[in-house]
């Protein structure tokens, strides 16, 4: 029996769509699960807002500190919402004076759209275009958020003074394997580029003026401490200034004092 080309093409398209969804479930699982949102409203130093991107309304949380202090852009992990950090950053902004913004991932919480690295950075860049006044800019990413912070840095390296990578990765495939061959195969079939190290190594030499802080738990079960050390070494060999902080904890360990430490670096 001869199979029609149109039928083959249909099967290929269906297969690609399923593969795309499987990737999204693995990388952005909160899109497919209901995470608890909080009833947040504007206060003296917290502004709950929305930003329109490609007909999607994306939630934003902005914490107003001292106008002369830096602006921190924070990207959370893949099973979290910006709401989860509201009380931490509200307190820290008041105490330390830093300005902080969190742009929710598309499709997370009550934000429209479908989660992607590209969509997240588009929303963040649009917010910065409308609100950033040119003061010192600090990027901070936790777990999958580290890829978002690095992607934003690559696009805006001249404006960024510090990048904080918390429980992050040099390449998303390190969560699966240490094999170079297998990692290359995984990266070739992922729809978006999560190889953060390669992106950093390709930035202009002037980008090396930006300070990097890598903070990683010695019991991290997702991205090993060894992979974090390798990330640090690769950056330093390429001329980046890296402050490496190893703490006693796993992938999700954190507390108020530790956030305060990072904000004061």
CATH number, residue 67: 3.40.50.1820
**Residue pLDDT, tens place only, 44-86:** 899 999 999 999 999 999 999 998 999 999 999 999 999 999 9
Is 19 inside any structural domain?
no
Residue 177 domain flag: yes
- What is the residue range of 137's domain? 36-263
Domain membership flag for residue 43: yes
Nearest to 189 by CA among 201, 172, 175, 202: 172
The partner residues of 57 in beta bridges, in order of sequence, read 52
Q: Flag whether 108 is in a domain.
A: yes
* Chain centroid offset of residue 32 CA: 19
Q: Which of 59, 127, 140 is nearest to 92 (CA)?
A: 140
44: Cβ contacts below 8 Å, ≥ 6 apart:
none
For position 152, what pLDDT does the model report?
Answer: 98
The 8-class DSSP code of residue 105 comes to P
In a domain? residue 25: no
Task: Catalogue the E-assigned strands of 94-159.
Answer: 99-103, 137-142
Segment-wise mean pLDDT, segments of 10 residues, the chain, 265 residues: 49 41 63 71 90 94 93 95 92 90 94 92 97 92 96 94 95 61 49 87 91 94 94 97 93 73 66
pLDDT at 101: 98
pLDDT value of residue 37: 75
pLDDT computed for residue 40 by the predictor: 85
Number of other CB atoms surrounding residue 262 within 10 Å: 18
| Measured distance CA(184)–CA(33) in Å, rounded | 30
Q: Is residue 145 part of a domain?
A: yes
30: in domain: no
* pTM for the whole structure: 0.86
Nearest Cα residue to 104 out of 92, 96, 94, 116: 116
The answer to whether residue 2 is domain-embedded is: no
Give the whole-angstrom CA distance, residue 244 versus residue 197.
Answer: 16
Question: Rounded to whole angstroms, how far apart are CA atoms 224 and 67?
Answer: 38
Considering only CA atoms, give the Rg of the chain.
19
Return the pLDDT at 12: 39
Which pLDDT does position 134 carry in this prediction? 84
Could you give the number of structural domains in the chain? 1
CA distance 85 to 73: 13
């Amino acid at each position: 029996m001869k199979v029609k080309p149109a039928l083959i093409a249909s099967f290929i398209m269906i297969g690609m769509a399923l593969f795309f969804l499987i990737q999204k479930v693995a990388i952005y699982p909160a899109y497919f699960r209901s995470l608890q949102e909080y009833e947040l409203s504007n206060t003296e130093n917290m502004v709950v807002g929305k930003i329109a991107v490609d007909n999607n309304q994306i939630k934003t949380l902005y914490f107003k500190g001292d106008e002369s202090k830096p602006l921190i852009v924070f990207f959370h992990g893949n099973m979290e919402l910006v709401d989860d950090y509201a009380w931490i950053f509200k307190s820290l902004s008041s105490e330390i004076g830093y300005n902080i913004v969190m742009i929710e991932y598309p499709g997370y919480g009550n934000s429209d759209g479908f989660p992607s690295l590209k969509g997240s950075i588009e929303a963040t860049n649009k917010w910065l275009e409308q609100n950033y006044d040119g003061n010192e800019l600090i990027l901070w990413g936790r777990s999958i958020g580290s890829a978002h912070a690095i992607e934003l840095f690559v696009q805006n390296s001249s404006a960024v003074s510090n990048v904080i990578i918390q429980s992050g990765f040099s390449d998303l495939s390190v969560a699966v394997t240490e094999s170079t061959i297998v990692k290359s195969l995984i990266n070739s079939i992922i729809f978006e580029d999560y190889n953060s190290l390669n992106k950093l190594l390709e930035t202009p030499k002037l980008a090396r003026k930006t300070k990097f802080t890598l903070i990683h738990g010695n019991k991290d079960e997702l991205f090993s401490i060894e992979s974090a050390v390798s990330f640090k070494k690769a950056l330093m060999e390429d001329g980046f200034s890296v402050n490496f902080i190893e703490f006693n904890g796993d992938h999700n360990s954190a507390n108020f004092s530790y956030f305060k430490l990072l904000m004061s670096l």
